[in-house]
A and B are shown apart, each in its own frame.
Chain A
């Protein structure tokens, strides 16, 4: 059963709807004791990374998240929270994965936010099982996680190459929205729910 970290950063109706369509049961995590009930944890998030981190800090759940040994999936800003620091609000984040979240540079001749369907280069990883390389996913973001060959499990190119998905041990993050990425996104959520502890 999937536990969704409930810290008030953005709407999760689309995410829970996607899980329901897939027949995956889920519940909300409000206190540290709630983690015990779930085998897999999702950290959602939209909007401002600095503001999201503040809200997450207020829940008092950060230490528990950092100690998790269960599969964890951060989505969009939820992924960025796994990194060390974001330029958005000059915010210290959970620092589970030692990476920097940066603002896209409009001097690269790109429009910001990066909004729409972008293909990704997929490394061999269980999270992308059954998803063809170069499949397009739906992205909406102005900040990105720097490319890093160690933690990268999928890359996207928009002005520059950056992290579309990362992994460190049991912690996974995707910059795109699987709940809005058609059949491929649903496959990814299903794959996540099948990850072994």
Chain B
């Protein structure tokens, strides 16, 4: 049976992780390699690194970081942020990334999804979608939720699947940061609508939220940042709790 995946997400700036990560026994909280290794030891099933660097030098720094992570890490990881063309993706693949995540670039140029899938295979292409309710409808937002588009979220996700996305990372901006739980209603309808895996994101605050998202929706994975970084939810504890609800997990 396929396990439900637990995915910590790390923000990276200039090759260093940011957002006050607070682990016991961590020598350098900013070192992505050490952090990634810690998460793998704890039983994370996968990791996502989101590059939030805005400088032109970013690619080179990021590639070096990806290589260092790949050298040490024995679980899969995804790199997102600033990937706009095949060459970006190829450099990340060659540095050891298992998947890349594209967001705004795909909305602006949907053909990018098809091109990436053709060159690297659908399994390599994660399409990240930020969604927010506008007058009762879920609409795609860009730039971390600041920029609204006129594209309906469900419509875009279906299109992304048809173009060759291998996985959808769906973040509800309404739930993100609230710690009040995932948007289970939306996640369930999206997950039923498409035939590729869906990663739930936005709103995780406690163990019950993970139980809820896995028992009431068809999502395949749940992603969170702060609850893991600050040790509020230790991954082994989370997985043991999920197992009590007969949710398949890797222990």
Contacts and interface: CB of A to CB of B under 8 A. Distances in A.
Interface of A: 10-11, 13-14, 17-18, 20-21, 46-48, 106, 111-119, 136, 138, 140-142, 157-158, 177, 179-183, 185-186
B interface bracket (residues with beta carbon within 8 Å of A): 20 to 34
Given A11-B94, A47-B120, A182-B74, A113 B196 contact: yes
Interface of B: 1-3, 5, 40, 45-46, 67, 70-72, 74-76, 93-96, 98, 120-124, 166-167, 195-197, 220-221, 250
B3 A118 contact: yes
B2 A185 contact: no
Contacts of B197: 111, 113, 115-116
B196 A21 contact: no
Contacts of A112: 195-196
A54 to B, nearest CB: 15
Nearest to A112: B195
B250 A117 contact: yes
A113 B40 CA distance: 23
A115 B120 contact: no
A157 B248 CA distance: 13
Nearest to B118: A48
Contacts, number: 90
Given A11-B93, A180-B74, A180-B98, A113 B122 contact: yes
Main secondary structure of the interface of A (DSSP, over half): mixed
Contacts of B1: 118-119, 157
Given A111-B197, A117-B2, A142-B122, A13 B98 contact: no
A111 B74 contact: no
A117 to B, nearest CB: 4
Contacts of A158: 2
Contacts of A13: 67, 70, 94-96
A106 B74 CA distance: 30
B174 to A, nearest CB: 25
22 contacts: A13-B67, A13-B96, A14-B96, A20-B71, A46-B124, A48-B121, A106-B195, A112-B195, A113-B122, A115-B197, A116-B220, A118-B2, A136-B250, A138-B75, A142-B123, A157-B1, A158-B2, A177-B76, A179-B74, A180-B76, A181-B74, A182-B75
A182 B36 CA distance: 13
A163 B21 CA distance: 41
Given A13-B67, A183-B74, A115 B123 contact: yes
Contact of B196 (A18, A111, A140, A183): A111
A111 B161 CA distance: 12
B98 A14 contact: yes
Nearest to B191: A111
Contacts of A48: 121
A117 B5 contact: yes
